[in-house]
Amino acid sequence: MRTALILVAVALLAVLVVLGSRQSEPIDASVSESPPSTAPVVETEARATEAATEAQRGFLYGRITTRDGAAYEGRLRWGRGEEAFWGDYFNGFKDENPWVAHVPPERLKERRSIAIFGLEIAQRERQVDLGRPFMARFGDIGRIEARGRDLRVTLKSGTVFHLDRFAADDFADGVRVWDGRRGVVDLDERRIRTIELLPTARPVLPPLTPPKGAVSAPDRLHGTVRTRQGDFTGFLQWNREECVGADELDGHTADGKLGLRFDTIRSIARRSRDSSLVTLLGGREIVLSSTSEVGDGNRGIYVDDQRYGRVLISWDAFERVDFSAAGTSAAGSGPAYDDFPPGSPLTGSVTTRAGQRLAGRLIYDLDESETTETLDAPSQGVDYTIPFGLIASVVLPGSEERGAQRARVTLQDGEELQLELTGDLGEGNAGMLIFVDGRERPEYVPWTDVEQIDFDRPPATYPPLGRR
DSSP string, 91-139: EEEBS--GGGGGS-GGGGEEEEEEEETTEEEEEEEEE-----EEEEEGG
Q: Is residue 34 scored above 80 in pLDDT?
A: no
Q: How far is CA 173 from CA 58, 81, 300, in A?
A: 21, 10, 20
CA distance 369 to 433: 10
Contacts 24+ apart (CB under 8 A), 158-162: 158/342, 159/343, 159/369, 159/370, 161/94, 161/134, 161/136, 162/94, 162/95, 162/96
At 260 the three-state DSSP class reads strand
Helix, strand, coil in percent for the chain, rounding step 5: 15, 45, 40
Q: What is the DSSP letter of 398?
A: P
Residue 223 identity (one-letter amino acid): G
Report which listed range, 36-45, 218-227, 307-316, is most confident.
Answer: 307-316
What is the CA angle 464-152-310, rounded to 5?
A: 30
**Among 13-22, 81-90, 124-133, the least confident range:** 13-22
pLDDT value of position 202: 59
pLDDT level of residue 107 (50, 70, 90 thresholds): confident
Q: Is residue 424 scored above 80 in pLDDT?
A: yes
Report which listed range, 72-81, 158-167, 258-267, is most confident.
Answer: 258-267
Q: Of 424, 409, 410, which is closest to residue 377 (Cα–Cα)?
A: 424
Q: Of 395, 390, 385, which is closest to residue 423 (Cα–Cα)?
A: 385
Residue-range domain boundaries for the chain: 53-97+132-197, 222-334, 338-455
Q: Of 209, 204, 170, 162, which is closest to residue 189 (Cα–Cα)?
A: 170
The CA dihedral of 339, 342, 344, 346, to the nearest 10 degrees, is 70
pLDDT value of position 203: 53
pLDDT value of position 118: 65
Give 47-106 pLDDT, tens digit per residue.
444 445 566 899 999 999 999 999 999 999 998 778 999 999 999 999 888 899 999 888
CA distance 44 to 146: 43
pLDDT value of position 217: 60
pLDDT level of residue 10 (50, 70, 90 thresholds): very low
Q: Is residue 14 scored above 70 in pLDDT?
A: no
Q: Is residue 46 scored above 60 in pLDDT?
A: no
What is the arithmetic mean of pLDDT over 357-364? 97
- For residues 119 and 160, which has the higher predicted lDDT (pLDDT)? 160
CB 160 within 8 A of CB 153: yes
CA distance 159 to 141: 10
pLDDT, averaged across the chain: 83
CB 425 within 8 A of CB 383: no
CA distance 196 to 200: 12
CB 435 within 8 A of CB 442: yes
* pTM score, whole prediction: 0.81
Give 164-187 pLDDT, tens digit per residue.
988 877 898 899 999 989 999 999
What is the arithmetic mean of pLDDT over 33-57? 50
Q: How many CB atoms lie within 10 A of CB 187?
A: 17
Q: What is the per-residue DSSP string for 10-51?
A: HHHHHHHHHHHHHHTSPP-HHHHSSPPP-HHHHHHHHHHHHH
pLDDT level of residue 459 (50, 70, 90 thresholds): confident
pLDDT value of position 400: 62
CB 408 within 8 A of CB 421: no
Residue 438 identity (one-letter amino acid): G
Give 194-211 pLDDT, tens digit per residue.
999 999 865 544 443 444
What is the arithmetic mean of pLDDT over 265-271? 97
pLDDT value of position 460: 61
Q: Is residue 464 scored above 90 in pLDDT?
A: no
Q: Of 372, 378, 357, which is closest to residue 424 (Cα–Cα)?
A: 378
What is the arithmetic mean of pLDDT over 304-326? 95
**Among 5-19, 272-286, 345-359, 446-460, the least confident range:** 5-19
pLDDT level of residue 130 (50, 70, 90 thresholds): confident
